[in-house]
Amino acid sequence: MSNSAAPSYNFAYLDEQTKRMIRRALLKAVAIPGYQVPFASREMPMPYGWGTGGIQVTAAVIGPDDCLKVIDQGSDDTTNAVSIRKFFAKVGDIETTEETERATVIQTRHRIPETELTEDQILVYQVPIPEPLRFLEPKETETRKMHALEEYGLMHVKLYEDISQHGEIATTYAYPVKVDGRYVMDPSPTPKFDNPKMNNMAALQLFGAGREKRIYAIPPYTEVVSLDFDDHPFSIQKWDEPCALCGTRDSFLDEVILDDQGGRMFVCSDSHHCAKRQAEGHRGALSADPALETEEVAP
């Protein structure tokens, strides 16, 4: 409790009893990769849907020596990422950063950083609906049984129906994965572009769903396989053009509308990755510094 501005709250807001309860759930989650562990989620001072699950998980694992990065849509400067970062700075005097490499705990909504994570890092996901089977069967009592019996036929039928209707699997985010050969898991609404990064990741991946009161985890170096069919293998999104700012072709791009004449550009969703590449001298078609050569030109 080093912050004099908020002396009445415990370090990282949650009381130690609650942190212990969450850590127990986390330990169980790590022991059974991909399994959804119910936990007594608390009411937080920000709304459900704003990352209360991720915030509780972060609060339970973070210590005074940690350095926190928070991203939303891949960016550190998205309003809710700013707000969560401010919250932890206020209730724990926790050091924050935008540098992916420097952070020991990274809380995210909807993206996995482009920079490869290490064994010294924890990635905390904010999860809205933890149950991958929810939209096939809304009843929790049923889906828990389906997980227990490893009865995932319904999910394959859904993916097959996509193919018969659209010619391909029409799920682009929250794309279901199988963890450690056992549990089918919702990777949270990250784009399927990020699914391959989850496989054998060196960092510990923790998932918190506050409103739904569930925690799950993927331990480091765990096999994570995106569901698919032999004749319709899993594939990730591709763009026709590179990032307009840093010129990369390997990262997830956001579309920015420039005018009402159909003008648009594509830029990295991972703002730190993009800024770092630009600092290293990489340039795209619409870079801020026109004096430098563009690495690639948009078609």
Partner 1 sequence: MYVAVKGGEKAIDNAHKYLAEERRGATDVAELSLSQISEQLSHAVSRVMAEGSLYDKDLAALAIKQARGDLIEAIFLIRAYRTTLPRFGYSAPLDTSEMDLDRRISATFKDLPGGQVLGPTFDYTHRLLDFALAAEGLEPQKAEAAEAPLDEEVPRVLELLNAEGLIEQSAPADYDDTAPVGDLTREPLEFPADRDLRLQNLARGDEGFILALGYSTQRGYARNHAFVGEVRLGDVTVEVIPEELGFAIEIGDITITECETVNQFQGSKTAPAQFTRGYGLAFGHSERKVISMALVDRALRCHELGEDQVAPVQDDEFVLSHSDNIQATGFVEHIKLPHYVDFQSELELVRRLRRNAEDNIREAAE
Sites of contact with partner 1 (CB under 8 A):
9, 15, 38-45, 47-50, 52, 72-74, 77-83, 86, 110-111, 128, 139-141, 166-168, 170, 172-174, 189-193, 211, 213-214, 237, 239, 244-245, 252-256, 258, 265, 267, 269, 271, 274, 286-288, 290
- Provide the annotated active-site residues: 34, 243, 246, 268, 274
- Residue number with CB closer to partner 1 (52 or 205): 52
Q: Describe the strand order of the beta sheet including 122-126 as a list of residue ranges.
A: 37-38, 214-218, 204-209, 122-126, 105-109, 67-72, 95-96
| Min dist. Cβ of residue 183 to partner 1 (A) | 18
- Residue number with CB closer to partner 1 (65 or 290): 290
- Residue number with CB closer to partner 1 (91 or 179): 91
77 residue type, one letter: D
CA-nearest of 297, 260, 250 to 115 is 250
Q: In this structure, what are the phi and psi dihedrals at residue 52, rounded to the nearest 5 degrees?
A: -65, -30
| Min dist. Cβ of residue 47 to partner 1 (A) | 4
**How remote is the C-alpha of 164 from its chain's centroid?**
30
176, 181, 183, 184 alpha-carbon torsion, rounded to 10° = 10
- Residue number with CB closer to partner 1 (92 or 222): 92
User: Which residues neighbour 218 within 8 Å (Cβ) at sequence distance 6 or greater?
Assistant: 33, 34, 179, 185, 198, 201, 204, 205, 224
